[in-house]
Amino acid sequence: MIAWYRKGFRLYWTWKSRNHAGRPSVSSEVANLIRRMSLANPRWGAPRIHGELLKLGIQVSQATVAKYMVRHRKSPSQTRRTFLKHQMQNFVSADFFVVSTFTFKLLFVFVILSHDRRRAVHFAATANPIAEWTARQLLEAFP
């Protein structure tokens, strides 16, 4: 009984691990062409390279193109940190907040802060904020 079970188990795994036909392999010339195209054009993705290969008459799927493309370590554009470092002098923040006075009246404070030096560019307070007043404060801060 045990020998029969072992033989059945062996036959099952032989059947399970048989060679499946699957998708035909890509020639080394086509794989090298895909690699060269992705290296020469780092901004091209798999859809663009797939389209160019179709124009040349090479029939491969887009998934195959993605498989053989070179993975670029560095992104072609600058990172977020680099962008912020270069543009920090152009950034400002504006805020409205309410302050209560000693006599319990409300004052509306408008502040504009510069990001590069972390300093106040403009500061103003009023008891009655209207759109014209706010626009005038912006014009005074950035003439």
Q: What is the pLDDT of residues 66-102, one digit of tens each?
A: 999 998 777 667 888 888 888 888 888 999 999 998 9
pTM: 0.45
- Residues (pLDDT < 70) of the chain are 75-76
The pLDDT value given to residue 46: 94
CA–CA separation, 31 vs 44, rounded Å? 16
Give residue 47's pLDDT: 95
Sequence-distant (6+) residues with CB within 8 A of 88 are 115, 116
**What was the pLDDT predicted at 64?**
93
Contacts 24+ apart (CB under 8 A), 1-9: none
| CA dist 95 → 53, 55, 100, 134 (Å) | 54, 56, 16, 11
Instruction: Provide the token pair at 112.
Output: 């504009």
Model pLDDT, residue 75: 66
Residue ranges of E strands in the chain: 92-100, 106-114, 119-126
